Structure 1
Amino acid sequence: MQELKKIWAFGLPYLRPYMFRFVAGVVLGIIFGMSNGIFVVSVDTLFSRLTQPNPPATASQASLPNQSVGLGSIKAQVSAWWESEVGPWGDTLLPRIGHPMTWLQGVGA
């Protein structure tokens, strides 16, 4: 950590005239990364809405993963929250196969 402080103290006088550009680049880089992450998630949502739904496969109780502990339960909780809170909002904005398109979906809101 001390070495990073030395490097920052050395480079700060040279960076000071370009501080706005530096901070703007970092902020825009974060926004770019977040938009790429959202794109990955949204592709699955759009494909699931625009393709024919498959009937759910039946699985035995022994083959289902235990989602009561750890990361699986957190994922299940977040997924349930997402479906209940954001799902209805997405239904008004995103088209679904077999349903007529609304004016809001048509203008690309």
Structure 2
Amino acid sequence: MPKKSFPSEATPVVVQEHIQMWGHAIRAQRMLLRLTAAQLASRIGVSVPTVARLEKGDPGVGVGSYLGALFALGLNSVATPVLNPDLWQTAANKRVRPTRAESGDELGYF
């Protein structure tokens, strides 16, 4: 069954702009490295039409395909977000499961 394509109106404008920037970067780097679309497609495990959609900035293409193409072409810095370390906690500081008292288990509900 083919994947459902989402209308471009469903994708926020900022996201569309970033996807199009990725597509232009993929095409420019592929041309600079003198790779054919078929060569890039075989490197990232997609079809040639999917590479064409990547280069056009189609939001219906999976993010894995975009990231695979960026990494295959050596454009790692384009795909790596800058994260604020203050927003992230280490796994040791973060409790994933609630304690027994928090879950209501002491009352015999679970």
- Asked if these proteins are the same fold (TM beyond 0.5), I'd say no
TM-score range, shorter chain: under 0.3
TM-score, with structure 1 as normaliser: 0.25
Larger Rg: 1
* Higher-helix-fraction structure: 1
TM-score, with structure 2 as normaliser: 0.24
